[in-house]
Copies of this chain bind each other. A is one copy, B any other.
Amino acid sequence: MRTGIATVCLSGTLEEKLRAAAKAGFGGVEIFETDLVTSPLSPEDVRRLADDLGLGLDLYQPFRDFDSVPDELYRANLRRAEAKFKLMGRLGIDTILVCSNVATASIDDDALRSAQLHGLAELAADHGVKVAYEALAWGTYVNDFEHAWRIVDDANHPNLGTCLDTFHILSRGWDTAPIEGIPGEKIFFVQVADAPKLSLDVLSWSRHYRVFPGEGQFDLPKFLGHVARTGYSGPVSLEVFNDTFRQSDVERTAVDAMRSLIWLEERTAQHLAASAAEAAGGAPSPAQLAQASRAYAMPLTTLPQVAPPSGLNFAEIKAADGGAATAELERLLGQLGFEPRGEHRTKPVSLWTLGDARIVLNRQQARGVEPGISALGFDVENSVAAVARAVQLKAVPVARTSQANEEVLQAVQAPDGTEVFLCQDALWVEEFGSVAPGGSPLGGAPESAEVARIDHINLAQPWQHYDEAVLFYSSVLALSPQPSQDVSSPAGLVRSQVMQTEDRSVRLALNLAPWVQADSVRGTVRDTFQEHIAIIVPDLVATAKACRARELPFLAIPENYYEDLDARYGLDPEFLATLRELDLLYDRDADGEFLHFYTATVGSVFFEVVQRIGGYDGFGAPNAPIRHAVQHAHRR
């Protein structure tokens, strides 16, 4: 599939955009007019630069407000178009996007529109240009792709075709099946964008909230499946207007964009294979998938297939060697019931375990930098395939030095810098020495060691990489995004996005924390970067009691919380007294109950211990404001 991206998706100057698109591996770009007009580069310079970068210039856009106008304006529009056709000649671009008239349309007459577009196509032919006519979702008279196609079909000119844009089609809820009625060679261009489902007016929605494929809620594989079946073989190009992407680093955004198209190719091939298999009455085989990826004029690249991870192999916290915060962290782990399993053979790294929960304390960080979650290990079936897939999805591999005889662990970087290890086993544990003679200095084996494990990890995400993170974890690790939720905190709303496997063996919560300016709320910026590791145990009350006996610093829960809990649930007084005494939190849903507690924070890391009773499937979200408020007060 030929991949493309409109320059308007990216921040920076035209030159920066072209360089970033080429670096990310795009086949071509759409030149958005404003980017050219504001550039000091001449059209010839742009053409030369694109050539040097191996980047196709696939589309010039947009040409607005052409059709459905009185004759005088039509002539003026032709003159305006001719100037652009000449410009395209200098750029070496052969296709222009003409979108349905929004501003000056005054005559609602399809025959007139066909005639005017035919006239435009005639003029375009003189300049070797092809015109791709597109229905904007908010076009005055033409806002439906089928309508645009009928007009193009009636005009019947070899230099006139249609452009399909997923946003304009899916935002209006149009049925996409009729796409297959359009001959592939009359589709001159295909633009794709995803979007969250909003009830906003379609123009504002389009201008500010589009995202890259896989970051929203549109069914793009189904759309692109229809397009593939028409025999279309041209570019599939991103046109995403997004306030955040326009502000973010151009090279990162280009990589995120490229990843989204690779994801879309794979999903489209899967969709096509599944349709074929369904017609034959079964699930698609790998051979059918490979077949689907090659069956169309638009070949679809597929990636090594991987199953979702089956568990969290470990979590790593980076801390400075010998620092006070590090000592505090070690004490905290001991108080939680973790046992030190010894030092790594060659590195300043120690392993701590509680049942199946493994935490690696990496003391290679510089002094003065606070401890933070630095790496996560995921259990995968085949780590080589998993890393190969990740790298094909533009993830950056992590280079770690290993000595001979050490396990070579495969890792890639997540958008926020967290290192994601793809682990086939836990043999690396053997590189850690056994506990020093005399056993754990911090207490015996915990009560619940045999079944404790990591329940979930909560990572704080910088606002400008949030959508990118969702796509990263869903494409690279096959985690499924759940509906996001807003939680109140003293420093602002925190948007929480859970990514998990269907069987819940891996749960990851991404928190988009509010950004606090220096002169702003006294909670300071540090508020926003707290992250945590949650351990699940079979008997939370017993664990809490043992932790209290080991003098674990619990996050202190306000008395008002227990009164409100009682008002809401009318809990058994003895149970309520236990919750209160142990600083435990409680939640309930239709399927079960949830008990949990939090520890104090060290650096930017704290811990949570949870128990799930019955089929409870959440994370205690109603209690999150309590935690934020208490942590905020501690930060002061």
A interface residue numbers (CB < 8 A to B) = 8, 11-13, 16, 33-34, 36-43, 76, 79-80, 83-84, 87, 198-201, 204, 207-208, 243, 246-250, 462, 464, 486, 488, 490-493, 514-517, 519-523, 556, 558-561, 563-564, 566-568, 570, 625-626, 628-630, 632-633
Bound-state CA distance A220–B23 (Å) is 54
Bound-state CA distance A503–B199 (Å) is 39
CB-CB < 8 A to A486: which residues of B? 207
Closest 8 pairs between A and B when the two form their complex, measured CB to CB = A83-B567, A38-B629, A247-B492, A199-B201, A246-B492, A37-B564, A247-B514, A11-B521
- Chain B, residue nearest A250 (CB): B521
Bound-state CA distance A556–B39 (Å) is 11
CB pair B13–A249 under 8 Å, yes or no, is: no
Bound-state CA distance A568–B76 (Å) is 9
Q: Name the contact of A625 in the complex, choosing from B38, B519, B563 (C-beta under 8 A).
A: B38
Bound-state CA distance A44–B165 (Å) is 61
Bound-state CA distance A486–B242 (Å) is 13
CB pair A566–B39 under 8 Å, yes or no, is: no
- Chain B, residue nearest A570 (CB): B79
CB pair B243–A36 under 8 Å, yes or no, is: no
CB pair A464–B247 under 8 Å, yes or no, is: no
CB-CB < 8 A to A250: which residues of B? 521
Bound-state CA distance A198–B200 (Å) is 8
CB-CB < 8 A to A464: which residues of B? 517, 520
CB-CB < 8 A to A84: which residues of B? 567
- Chain B, residue nearest A569 (CB): B80
CB-CB < 8 A to A516: which residues of B? 247
Bound-state CA distance A33–B625 (Å) is 11
Q: Name the contact of A42 in the complex, choosing from B520, B559, B564, B629 (C-beta under 8 A).
A: B559
- Chain B, residue nearest A627 (CB): B38
Bound-state CA distance A561–B42 (Å) is 10
CB-CB < 8 A to A247: which residues of B? 491-492, 514-516, 520-521
CB-CB < 8 A to A16: which residues of B? 490, 522
CB pair A630–B200 under 8 Å, yes or no, is: no
Q: Name the contact of A626 in the complex, choosing from B37, B80, B243 (C-beta under 8 A).
A: B37
Task: For the A-B complex with A38-B630, A198-B204 known, give 11 more contacts whose Cβ atoms are closer than 8 Å.
Answer: A11-B492, A38-B560, A39-B558, A39-B629, A40-B556, A83-B566, A200-B201, A247-B515, A247-B520, A248-B521, A464-B517
CB-CB < 8 A to A36: which residues of B? 560
CB-CB < 8 A to A199: which residues of B? 199-201, 204
CB pair B561–A38 under 8 Å, yes or no, is: yes
CB pair A13–B83 under 8 Å, yes or no, is: no
Bound-state CA distance A559–B13 (Å) is 15
Q: Name the contact of A633 in the complex, choosing from B33, B34, B40, B43 (C-beta under 8 A).
A: B40
Bound-state CA distance A491–B249 (Å) is 9
CB pair A249–B521 under 8 Å, yes or no, is: yes
CB pair B560–A39 under 8 Å, yes or no, is: yes
A11-B564 CB under 8 A given contacts A199-B201, A519-B249, A558-B40: no
CB-CB < 8 A to A490: which residues of B? 11-13, 16
CB-CB < 8 A to A246: which residues of B? 488, 491-493, 514
CB pair A560–B42 under 8 Å, yes or no, is: yes
- Chain B, residue nearest A207 (CB): B486
User: A483 CB to closest chain B CB, in angstroms?
Assistant: 13
Bound-state CA distance A505–B118 (Å) is 50
Bound-state CA distance A515–B558 (Å) is 37
Of A84, A486, A523, A567, most B-chain CB atoms within 10 Å: A567
- Chain B, residue nearest A558 (CB): B40
CB-CB < 8 A to A632: which residues of B? 12-13
Bound-state CA distance A626–B36 (Å) is 10
- Chain B, residue nearest A567 (CB): B83
CB pair B561–A37 under 8 Å, yes or no, is: yes
- Chain B, residue nearest A528 (CB): B247
User: A434 CB to closest chain B CB, in angstroms?
Assistant: 42
CB-CB < 8 A to A522: which residues of B? 12, 16
A243-B492 CB under 8 A given contacts A79-B570, A633-B13: yes
CB pair A11–B567 under 8 Å, yes or no, is: no
Of A201, A517, A626, A628, most B-chain CB atoms within 10 Å: A517
Residue contacts A-B, CB under 8 angstroms, 19 given: A8-B488, A11-B490, A11-B491, A12-B490, A13-B633, A16-B522, A37-B561, A37-B625, A38-B560, A38-B628, A40-B558, A42-B559, A76-B570, A87-B567, A198-B201, A199-B199, A199-B204, A243-B493, A247-B491
CB-CB < 8 A to A11: which residues of B? 490-492, 520-521, 523
CB-CB < 8 A to A519: which residues of B? 249
CB pair B13–A629 under 8 Å, yes or no, is: yes
Bound-state CA distance A204–B201 (Å) is 13
Bound-state CA distance A532–B630 (Å) is 44
CB-CB < 8 A to A198: which residues of B? 200-201, 204
CB pair B558–A37 under 8 Å, yes or no, is: yes
Bound-state CA distance A36–B464 (Å) is 33
- Chain B, residue nearest A15 (CB): B633
User: A556 CB to closest chain B CB, in angstroms?
Assistant: 8
CB-CB < 8 A to A625: which residues of B? 34, 37-38
User: A600 CB to closest chain B CB, in angstroms?
Assistant: 15
CB-CB < 8 A to A8: which residues of B? 488
Bound-state CA distance A563–B90 (Å) is 13
A248-B520 CB under 8 A given contacts A13-B490, A80-B568: yes
CB pair A560–B491 under 8 Å, yes or no, is: no
